Structure 1
Amino acid sequence: MKTPISQLLSLLLLLLAATFFLIPPTLAAATDFIRSACNTTDNPDLCYSSISPYAKVIKQSPAVLARIGITVAQPVIRRVASDVSALSGKANSSYAGAFSVCEETLGTAVDNVGDALSWMRQLEEGKGGSFEYVIKAVNTQLSGAMTNEMTCTDEFEPDGPVKKEVVDRVTYAFEFTGIALSLVTYYANHH
């Protein structure tokens, strides 16, 4: 037979356990989780500053973190593609071929990232195939985007202010795509 004190202690223990499991992670725990995941990327500070505003949505979910990483990268790449297109209109005609290649490869990179995001959404909805298959598809799309981003600058010769401006902008997009790819890898390793 339980004594009133042992019943009270049992009830308190039960309430403590329920509180632990039912209360959602705090914002501090979510930002710590994001910081830890961002530390696996090549640019942890840029990752954290761009991803942490979504801490309330991410909580401590590697899947949501990966999707947000891609979501954050997408408008950056679009903006860089738009900026490069605007630069091509201002540049000397001798750069026309280089800008044409760059605009095409950045357009493909934008498509790659959009496809990666579609795959991630399908995964979250339980569609698209096995986890491994979808993660490989996402990795393929993001890796393709990174290849296209860096290919953009190949045709710019000689080195000079136009090439530097294009390289600087494309490198910025490349960093965000790399962060997204790293966060997808983090998700795959913590699934």
Structure 2
Amino acid sequence: MRTLSPQLLSPCCYILPSPTIIGRRPSPHRTHFIRSTCNTTDNPDICYSSIPSALAIVGITVALPMVRRVASDVSALSRKANDSYAVALSICVKTLGTAIDDVGGGLYWLRQLAEAKGRDFEFKMFSLKTELSAAITYETTCTDGFKDEPEVR
């Protein structure tokens, strides 16, 4: 049986791009690999400018089914758990459901950014950051319910 741990319950925290770095350019010393790879393409500038959003879309797209799977696993565990774990797991089921909605919302806003400009871009970027921050917060709320519980195997 799996160990019940924050790592099991929190794929968003490990896969989603951090809301604090979305919209920023990576530092120059971290972009050498990306630059050198893009320089081998026919359109290196387009390649370089599109990679951060493409990676964010991949991260969110990968995270969404993982969060759904975790929510399903937690729901199954909650039906078999003793009283104290059952309460914490039922809270997790609810908060993970909301996190799923927020990850999906983040993907929606990320896709909207491609054509956005000016204030429209700022609004959509703010919405994206809000959705991803909320998803991570809900998952943290889930794992916080287990702080005082012994590890389950």
- Pairwise same-fold verdict (TM > 0.5): yes
Question: Is structure 2 residue 106 aligned with structure 1 residue 116?
Answer: yes
From 123, 126, 133, the counterpart of 1:143: 133
- Choose from 62, 65, 68 the match for 1:78: 68
Please list every run of at least 4 consecutive aligned residues from structure 1 whose deviation after the TM superposition is greater than 4 angstroms.
none
Q: What TM-score do the two structures reach when normalised by structure 2? A: 0.61
Q: Equivalences for 1:1-191 in 2 at 5 Å?
A: 32-33=33-34, 60=48, 61=50, 62-124=52-114, 126=116, 130-156=120-146, 158-162=148-152
Structure number with larger C-alpha Rg: 1
The CA deviation string for residues 56-84 of structure 1, in whole angstroms up to 9 with x for no partner, is xxx54222222122111111111111111
Aligned length: 109
Q: CA deviation at 1:154?
A: 2.3
Bigger share in helix: 1
Unaligned stretches of 5+ residues in structure 1: 1-31, 35-58, 166-191
Letter in 2 for 1:131: F
TM-score (norm: length of structure 1)? 0.50
The alignment yields a C-alpha RMSD, in angstroms, of: 2.7
Q: 2:59 & 2:76 partners in 1: Cα distance?
A: 26
Cα 1:125/1:75, change in 2 over 3 Å: farther
Q: Offset of 1:100 from its aligned partner?
A: 1.3
Partner SS state of residue 161, structure 1: coil
Give the % identical residues. Answer: 55
Unaligned stretches of 5+ residues in structure 2: 1-32, 36-46
Distance in 2, matches of 1:155 and 1:97, equals 9
Alpha-carbon distance change, 72 to 33 in structure 1, aligned in 2, over 3 angstroms: farther
Relative contact order (C-alpha < 8 Å, sep 6+): which is higher? 2
